[in-house]
Amino acid sequence: MNHIAAKIKIFKERPAGTTGDTVTVIEPKAGWQIIDTGELREYRDLFFFLVWRDIKVLYAQTIMGFSWAILQPLIQLVIFTIVFGKVANVSTDGIPYVLFSSVAIIPWTYMSQAMTNSSQSLISGKEILGKVYFPRLIFPITSVLAKLVDFGISLLIILFVIIYYRVMPTWNMLLFPVLVMMMMGVSAGVGMWLSAMAIRFRDVKHAMPFAIRMLMYSAPIVYSASSIPEKYRLLYSLNPIVGVIEGFRACLLGTPVQWGYIWPGLMTAILLVCSGALYFKRMERVFADVI
């Protein structure tokens, strides 16, 4: 328990006649702090418990249960195919629109839901936040991990569409674990930033639906990235969601890998995670006071 020993600020004897010998006051460290991975490992049992709790309550008392994990992206896929594929006739570089949008909607649905849940994780866990000490970073990361179950189930939609269109796997499939990590990193980075901000500014909750909609149209989910003018593509590629979506498209459909979108997006995702963790640790000392 080295992390606790490092946080002990006052260690004194209780007055005579009281139960116990000492009182230990744990105070947060001042200034900027990096993530204490050793501390997170010590609380891994609690970590796994909270992830499992989130998974169990996700569709508790619902009639459809885990079917919602497929229905939500499936309904989006049908609407986008009709509106953007049939009515607007959006260019997809020769790829059938169902195939083109399905490999983008599934990772986007995961990221949008993980970011939304993660941003509100501290607020929803306020009942235990001020009572027991454990690394607060567990809250936003738990939401990101729990949504992986939905992502895994909804991959069945992509599998069905790929089989229907007889798309053969290529060596690009080797990118899949990297893209999943990148997808989780974007969600965790945004989640750490917003959950720490949401403690002080409850506006975050009301701004999230609008922000999520804006993010969806800022990435090549319903349109092709090739439709972006050449002079804006470097700026466009700094959006990490662009790299994730284009990466999944190349990985699952076997199209050429767009490294020009993936590398800048990966760098932005790493920056998001590092800056989000620093900001979260910086604000952690006031969580219990303002919750």
Q: What is the mean pLDDT of residues 24-28?
A: 66
Please say whether the beta carbons of 170 and 136 come within 8 A.
no
Whether residue 22 has pLDDT greater than 60: yes
216-241 confidence digits (pLDDT tens): 888 898 888 888 898 898 899 999 99
Residue 29, domain member (yes or no)? no
Q: What is the mean pLDDT of residues 147-152?
A: 90
79-100 confidence digits (pLDDT tens): 988 998 888 888 888 889 999 9
What was the pLDDT predicted at 29? 65
Number of domains in the chain: 1
Q: What is the mean pLDDT of residues 268-272?
A: 95
SS3 205: helix
What was the pLDDT predicted at 10? 46
In degrees, rounded to 5, the angle at the alpha carbon of residue 62 between the alpha carbons of residues 58 and 65 is 65
Give 116's pLDDT tier (boundaries 50, 70, 90).
very high
Q: What is the mean pLDDT of residues 242-252?
A: 94
Residue 21, domain member (yes or no)? no
The CA distances from residue 59 to 63, 112, 142, 202, in Å, are 9, 18, 16, 26
Please say whether the beta carbons of 104 and 249 come within 8 A.
yes
Residue 25, domain member (yes or no)? no
Residue 26: phi and psi, rounded to 5, are -100, 120
Please say whether the beta carbons of 99 and 264 come within 8 A.
no
Alpha-carbon distance 261 to 235, whole Å? 10
What was the pLDDT predicted at 263? 94
Residue 243, domain member (yes or no)? yes
Alpha-carbon distance 120 to 144, whole Å? 12
Residue 180, domain member (yes or no)? yes
Alpha-carbon distance 90 to 132, whole Å? 53
The CA distances from residue 188 to 12, 147, 182, 227, 231, in Å, are 39, 11, 10, 29, 30
Q: Output the 3-class SS for 16-70.
A: CCCCCCEEEEECCCCCCCCCCHHHHHHCHHHHHHHHHHHHHHHCCCCCCHHHHHH
Tokens for 215, please give them: 């993010």
Structural domain harbouring 260: 37-203+217-290
Q: The dihedral of CA 170, 104, 257, 180: what is its sign?
A: negative
